[in-house]
Copies of this chain bind each other. A is one copy, B any other.
């Protein structure tokens, strides 16, 4: 990314994460930072806004910008929050062995349309995958991709990263996603495909992903065994 504000954001974030700007300390003032980065007031503020939104700093009017970032514990598989968009999926993919359970073409029925938001009759590629981590089947992913946007998904692609395929090979740009987290009782299929033991509830992330055009290109259900699930989030108060 070439944007100035983004480079500044990343640079300051790096300094916070490596401890140059410690927890509960203050950043240099806007004036100093605009000098060191040789940028305008506006551009620096945009970078600071990103840091605030991501939970790294808390600007205090008339005083300074306080650092509130603390290293998160990484004992479980974290999704959301400070991590960037598909970083979590990436990390899971790296640590996990993926088994493709099913891969087929379907057409959106009225019921699918209602459940997913795809228009009725849309051609879809359906994938069911199991993620094994440390030999245990922990995550069941059920994806529906809009075939017109992401064509040519093979089992080969499904075993790796469909996102990487879409972005690198097809040039499709993923722009934003809406997620809902619920806790659901394990179904017969969950029990069959995952190593659940006596666990009968799963953490479920249901998400819709839109491309840069604002077109719905994917719906996913990611069903996690609860002892390996953690979702982190930072909420900034939108002043009232």
The 8 sampled A-B contact pairs (Cβ below 8 Å) are A61-B212, A68-B210, A68-B214, A84-B240, A175-B237, A176-B236, A183-B226, A231-B231
Find out whether the CB atom of B58 lies under 8 angstroms from the CB atom of A184.
no
Find out whether the CB atom of B183 lies under 8 angstroms from the CB atom of A234.
no
CB < 8 Å neighbour of A178 from B1, B50, B234, B238: B234
A-B pairs, 3 with minimum CB distance: A183-B226, A58-B214, A66-B214
Find out whether the CB atom of A175 lies under 8 angstroms from the CB atom of B230.
no
Find out whether the CB atom of B85 lies under 8 angstroms from the CB atom of A238.
yes
Q: Identify 13 new A-B residue pairs, CB closer than 8 A, beyond the known A3-B239, A68-B176, A180-B231.
A: A42-B42, A50-B238, A55-B176, A76-B182, A81-B180, A175-B236, A176-B234, A179-B235, A180-B232, A181-B230, A182-B230, A200-B201, A231-B231
Find out whether the CB atom of A233 lies under 8 angstroms from the CB atom of B1.
no
With A85-B238, A237-B174, A240-B1 in contact, do A179 and B212 touch (Cβ < 8 Å)?
no
CB distance from A23 to the nearest CB of B (A): 10
Q: What is the count of identical protomers in the complex?
A: 2
CB distance from A210 to the nearest CB of B (A): 6
Which residues from B are CB-within-8-Å of A176?
A: 52, 55, 58, 68, 234-237
Find out whether the CB atom of B84 lies under 8 angstroms from the CB atom of A238.
yes
Tell me, yes or no, whether A117 is within 8 Å of chain B by CB.
yes
Which residues from B are CB-within-8-Å of A238?
A: 6, 50, 84-85
A203→B60 CA distance, assembly (Å): 33
A42→B42 CA distance, assembly (Å): 10
Find out whether the CB atom of B1 lies under 8 angstroms from the CB atom of A231.
no
Find out whether the CB atom of B177 lies under 8 angstroms from the CB atom of A239.
no
Tell me, yes or no, whether A165 is within 8 Å of chain B by CB.
no
A61-102 vs B, CB cutoff 8 Å, 1 = contact: the mask equals: 101001110100000100011001100000000000000000
Which residues from B are CB-within-8-Å of A195?
A: none
Which residues from B are CB-within-8-Å of A60?
A: 212-214
With A60-B213, A68-B210, A184-B226 in contact, do A85 and B179 touch (Cβ < 8 Å)?
no
Tell me, yes or no, whether A29 is within 8 Å of chain B by CB.
no
Counting chain B CB atoms within 10 Å of each CB, which of A57, A66, A226, A230 scores highest? A226
A159-194 vs B, CB cutoff 8 Å, 1 = contact: the mask equals: 000000000000000111111111110000000000
